[in-house]
Amino acid sequence: MSERPYVNPLRDPRDRRLPRVAGPCALVMFGVTGDLARKKLLPAIYDLANRGLLPPGFGLVGFARRDWSTEQFANYCREAIQERARTPFRDEVWRQLNEGIRIVNGAFDDDQAFESLKRTLQELDETQGTEGNHAYYLSIPPRGFDIVVSQLEKHRMVDKSVETPWNRVVIEKPFGHNLASAIDLEKKVESVFSANSVFRIDHYLGKETVQNLLALRFANQLFEPIWNRNYVDHVQITMAEDIGIGGRAGYYDGIGAARDVIQNHLLQLLALTAMEEPTSFDAAQLRAEKEKVLGATRPPRSLKSHTARGQYLAGWAGGEKVLGYLDEEGIAGTSQTETYAAIRVDIDNRRWAGVPFYLRAGKRLASRVTEIALILRTAPHLPFTDTDTEALGSNSLVMRIQPDEGITLRFGAKVPATQMEIRDVTMDFAYGTSFAESSPEAYERLILDVFLGDPPLFPQAREVELSWEILDPILDYWAAKKHQPEGYASGTWGPESAHAMLARDHRAWRRP
């Protein structure tokens, strides 16, 4: 007889979106006072509890330099939850969650702090019933990964030879600074944790709309016949932000848009867009197909002609005057870190040969949008006059990841009451108006998957290495030039060199 799954009494029985429920466990959050923890991780933990997807036997341990008492840390968590949580605040959920909240004060190189962490987890195992199942979330700058993992090993908090109880580590991007550093990081982490216990978070892969890209492709016969070089002229993948770096100067400077976004988010979106149909959606099959595509993806032949980088200048955004990147607090006036990056890559396989993929990402652009756009080839013959079709563009299929998640199909239609005038029209599908359920935040799905040990939505080591193999030649080319990135006014769509890049190919960027 199979074991019955644990059912949390606080779970809403009508909630069918994520029916799997985590078993007893504790989450240790390094970097718990940072923006990511406060704005995303802590609210996601509460939302999981509020939806009945966490067990009563759950513990949350913060690790921070601040000399906080448990009560002070609990108040910090509560404030973050009340400010940012997606689901309504309920006292009974908070009381249960609060029973497992603990804080450990100290620095990453503080042996006494890690001994205190070890004792705290043992206490939670006894009082909360977390049963020795521990996840360590490294919401910290990459330079801290090595020392934290070393401390966990030194204080015997992880035994990779033991599967039960489990110990898992969650690593935030970027996964290394280049290919060599990524390989070094993998060696260090996997010397302490088993390979299937390492979870590399790319929160874009937890978004409902990204997962629905797979549904769009593989649940419908409609699109497969045109999803190839015979019908697709080129693909544009865009991640545009209308904000600057905010208070992230210490993290962002020296990283830049290419490492921060293209190496992970956009190349993962490319892989999901271009991969072949997997035999199933388990982790091994998805990983195999993504690795095939990334392995066939190559940087541009001409790095000069098909890459662009920029740095935002002062300008107007959101109705107010904003500073340029070099004027931001904490940024050196000589910084050559790009806030905009655009590249062309090509995929050397039968499906996509000759179809360029253009990837761009930037801050302080005209609007906030993430999308994947398949621009189709023009019809081989148009039985109309040039005047009839002068307002007609290319057909396109656009998948909007954020905001206003949905799918848009653009095609030509006749304008009423004219003899034969054809213009572009759009057919829109919006998730927000088509389903009664609201989409969970990406971190809800991903954190739950960590507790469940479910890896399909997490990039594996080989995917990370292949992404760096694509990006490293571009980064090396930019570094060798030692030029300041081209300036672009805040509130625009990036530097002129990015527009010239597509113009050389007789194409143009979409205006989302």
Given 134, 177, 234, 265, the catalytic residue = 265
Residue 394 falls in which region: left (phi positive, over 0), alpha (psi -120 to 50) or beta = beta
Q: How does strand 167-172 pair with strand 307-313?
A: unpaired
Please say whether the beta carbons of 497 and 238 come within 8 A: no
What DSSP designation does 195 have? G
* Helix residue ranges, H only, 403-503: 431-434, 442-452, 461-481, 496-503
What DSSP designation does 41 have? I
Please say whether the beta carbons of 74 and 33 come within 8 A: no
What DSSP designation does 365 have? B
Please say whether the beta carbons of 104 and 116 come within 8 A: yes
- What token pair was written down for 247? 């208070």
Beta bridge partners of 312: 488
**CA gap 86, 82 in Å, rounded:** 9
Three-state DSSP class for 310? strand
Active site residue 381: no
- How does 3-25 read in b/e, with b if 16+ C-beta sit within 10 Å? eeeeebebbeeeeeebeebbbbb
Please say whether the beta carbons of 210 and 371 come within 8 A: no
Three-state DSSP class for 276? coil
- Looking up tokens 């290495």 gives 465
Residue whose C-alpha is closest to residue 80's, from 27, 51, 44, 48: 44
**CA gap 150, 217 in Å, rounded:** 43
- Looking up tokens 């100067």 gives 249
Residue type, 152: L
How many other C-beta atoms can be found within 10 angstroms of the C-beta atom of residue 218?
Answer: 14
**CA gap 238, 373 in Å, rounded:** 8
**CA gap 374, 208 in Å, rounded:** 19
Torsion, CA 349, CA 353, CA 356, CA 359, rounded to 10: -10
Beta bridge partners of 414: 422
Q: Report the run of H or E that residue 268 belongs to, with start and end.
A: helix 267-274
Please say whether the beta carbons of 238 and 374 come within 8 A: no
Residue 175 falls in which region: left (phi positive, over 0), alpha (psi -120 to 50) or beta = beta
Half-sphere exposure of 326 (CA within 13 A, CB side): 13
Residues acting as catalytic residues:
265
